[in-house]
Amino acid sequence: MNDELFAELVASVKEGGAILRGEQEPAHKVHLESPDIIQIRERYRLTQEQFAAMLGISVSTLRNWEQGRRVPEGPAMVLLRVADKHPEAVLDVVCT
């Protein structure tokens, strides 16, 4: 690795640390709206128990999401968005 690339890498790591410590705002923020989980589940025509099993989550987690007590985050949010927009992909993976 040449000196210029190494200097860029070090600067990037320092910037990431500053963002994590709240000393600097990130250059980009991504905000995903929570999809209508009940509507997604009903489109699959699954019970809460079946839908939770399909997603690999507990029924209590699904109920908390559906009742608005909790909001899915991170990978769970992405999985729900995929389940909403590309049901064939989810079914292809879980029904093999």
Q: Could you count the other beta carbons within 10 Å of the beta carbon of residue 47?
A: 11
Do 11 and 44 fall into the same domain? no
Do 41 and 82 fall into the same domain? yes
Please tell me whether residue 87 adopts helix, strand or coil conformation: helix
What pLDDT is recorded for position 88?
A: 93
Do 24 and 41 fall into the same domain? no
Share of the chain above pLDDT 70, in %: 99
What sign does the dihedral 21-65-75-36 (CA atoms) show? Answer: negative
- Phi, psi values for residue 94, rounded to 5°: -90, -15
Give the range among 29-33, 39-43, 55-59, 87-91 with minimum mean pLDDT: 29-33
Which pTM value belongs to this model? 0.67
Range of the domain at 12: 1-29
Q: State yes or no: pLDDT of 1 exceeds 90.
A: no
What pLDDT is recorded for position 32?
A: 73
Do 81 and 54 fall into the same domain? yes
pLDDT digits (tens, 9 = 90+) for 9-47: 999 999 999 998 999 998 888 777 889 999 999 999 999
Do 44 and 21 fall into the same domain? no
pLDDT, average across residues 47-71: 96
Do 17 and 51 fall into the same domain? no
Do 41 and 61 fall into the same domain? yes
CATH code of the domain covering residue 41: 1.10.260.40
Do 15 and 45 fall into the same domain? no
